[in-house]
Structure 1
Amino acid sequence: HKCERIAHFATHYAALIRQVHPRCIIGAYMCPWLPTEFEGALSRIFAQDYELLAPAIDVFTPLIYGKKSGRPASWGQEFLENSAAFVPANRKVQLILDALDGHDSLTATAAATAPSWGIQIFSGAQIFSDTESAQIFKRAVEKIHATAMG
């Protein structure tokens, strides 16, 4: 029931946005848990159901903050590679990574066989202020783009 209510709100507000900006890409930040984790907590606690939200949401953005969540650097890659099982095929997934997770998280995400539609970095200023880190980011984005283009 909670998932349906949240999906209804998303549909309502997406319709309002699209009335004014018909080509607007609408996204939603998501809890990064798989639907099967923690006894279905994604829907049970967070009321997030990708299938129900899909009519309103173009891009789903799970917040992959590995160190803060006690997860490995490969978490983003694992999420992407599992996402086909629960994200509708006509919807995009764009991860947000945490700069605290360092280069390993970014590199692992770029290695995913199911690429992220784009990439966001929380607290990314520290990455872009360092030339070496910025180059690692650039290479990761290029790899994601190449994988997406086939």
Structure 2
Amino acid sequence: MVQRIAYGFEPDLPGFEGMSPEEAGRRLREIGCDGVFMHHPDRAWVDGLHAARLRVYVSQGIFAGRGIWGQFPSSRPITDEGTLAPREEWYEPAIPTLPELRAYRLDELEDTARSAPIDGLWLDFIRWPARWEKAQPRLYHSSFDPITLRQFQEDTGISLPEEATQPAEAAHWILAHAAEPWFDWRCQQIVSFVAEARARLHRHLPDALLGMFTVPWTEEDFNGTFIRIVGQDPARLASHVDVFSPMVYHRLCGRDVAWIGQVSRWVHERSGRSVWPIIEAIASPDEYPASEFAATWREALNASAGTAIVFTLTGLLQDPTRVNVWEAS
């Protein structure tokens, strides 16, 4: 059975303004939608969309956010060159080791679960830093800030040499002498957050799915960066995650359509979990013809046992032919 899920529905979306939750739900069903991702739905909207037989999911950003460095001044990562992590367009990454940020995000998540009977919550930006949405992303090791270095040494029992007093010196020593323990430990920081997120979610919604938007890299991409750079290993995360959603935005990443299936199948094989790929529908119809969208959507469905997500609903609706493809699938 095909499940068509749209990312980015909000009550003020053009074409839905002024509608009641029930009216919006009927309209979404008319275009073939089976579920939507929203940011902060209240109970009335969730109940109304449920009445239309739609599932409602929430996406929550974790270790990134516009303005996060101002809100949490110690959160800005330090690269292996000893420099502050760059702001890349809208992307401001944060270290996954900052206790107050982790607590803040977990409290946000629990507030969401408490406020409305959503069907699932997907963690986004749940990784170490990388602005990956391009063919040749800027890659750097992170983070060599005092908080992260102290926690790494306490947890592993590995001590930095006394002369490694600066971030770049610490990075050089770790990557030369303790790279594998470092990469493993970084992955565990992500796993531990996801495990606690699952517990918080199920405290209020025991049947809700916990999903995760993942960077679309496999072990063949950039020399294993899925572990070495972002610390997202589906195998280690599998016991805590119900659904993985690799962000297979082929146009942004300079890949062909077949790549969507390759990444999605790899994630499933490595994790043993359900995979709902999320594909892009951002570019205008002139740049991204409906025929290519159709091939993209078919590839995602074939690689996922019939469930996929389109990013975004606005992009889908800008081209009636895309909607026809979506509805007919």
Corresponding residue for 1:98?
Answer: 280
CA deviation string 1:54-82 (max 9, x = no partner): 12110101111111111112221222333
**Hey, what's the Cα distance between the residues in 1 that align with 2:269 and 2:208?**
26
Q: Is the 8 A contact 1:92 1:117 kept in 2?
A: no
Q: Which runs of 5+ in 2 are unaligned?
A: 1-184
Return the offset for 1:119: 1.4
TM-score by length of 1: 0.80
TM-score normalised by L of structure 2: 0.39
Report the structure, 1 or 2, having the larger helix content: 1
Residue among 234, 241, 253 paired with 1:69: 253
User: What is the CA–CA distance in structure 2 between the aligned matches of 1:105 and 1:10, rounded to whole Å?
Assistant: 29
Q: Which amino acid aligns with 2:276?
A: Q
User: Where in structure 2 are the equivalents of 1:1-150 lying within 5 Å?
Assistant: 1-88=185-272, 91-99=273-281, 100=283, 102-103=292-293, 104-110=295-301, 112=302, 114-116=303-305, 118-140=307-329
SS in structure 2 opposite 1:66? coil
Identical-pair percentage: 23
Stretches (4+) displaced over 4 A? none
Number of aligned residue pairs:
136
RMSD: 1.9
CA offsets per residue over residues 30-72 of structure 1, 9 Å max, x none?
0011133211100111110111111211010111111111111
Q: Distance in 2 between matches of 1:5 and 1:137?
A: 38
Q: Distance in 2 between matches of 1:84 and 1:94?
A: 10
Q: Which moved more, 1:78-87 or 1:49-58?
A: 78-87
Task: Select the structure of larger CA radius of gyration.
Answer: 2
